[in-house]
Amino acid sequence: MKLTYKKGKQDKIHISVDGEYSFTVDEAYFLSMGIYNGKEVDDDELQKIKQIVSVRRAYNYAVALLSRRDHSEKELMTKLTQKGYSDGAEEAITKLRNGGYVSDERFARLYVRELQTLKRYGKRRIEQELYRKGIDREIIREVLDETEFEQDELVSLIERKYGRYLSDEKGVQKAVNGLLRMGYSYGEIRDALKQINENLQSEDEVYYE
Residue 177: burial class (beta carbons within 10 Å; 0-12, 13-18, 19+): exposed
In this prediction the pTM is 0.78
Whole-number percent of the chain with pLDDT over 90: 58
Give the CB-side neighbour count of residue 183, counting CA atoms within 13 A: 16
pLDDT digits (tens, 9 = 90+) for 115-174: 999 999 999 999 999 999 999 999 999 999 999 999 999 999 999 999 888 888 899 999
b/e map of 54-83 (b: 16 or more CB within 10 Å)? bbbbbbebbeebeeeebbbbebbbebbeee
Q: Which of 60, 47, 58, 48 is nearest to 85 (CA)?
A: 58
Cβ pair 95, 80 in contact under 8 A? no
Q: What are phi and psi of 75, to 5 degrees?
A: -60, -45
Count of helix runs (H) and strand runs (E) in the chain: 10, 4
> What is the C-alpha separation between 94 and 99, in angstroms, rounded?
8
What mean pLDDT, rounded, does the chain reach? 88
- Domain ranges across the chain: 104-146, 151-200
* All residues at 6 or more sequence positions from 143 whose CB lies less than 8 Å from its CB, including other chains: 105, 108, 109, 112, 130
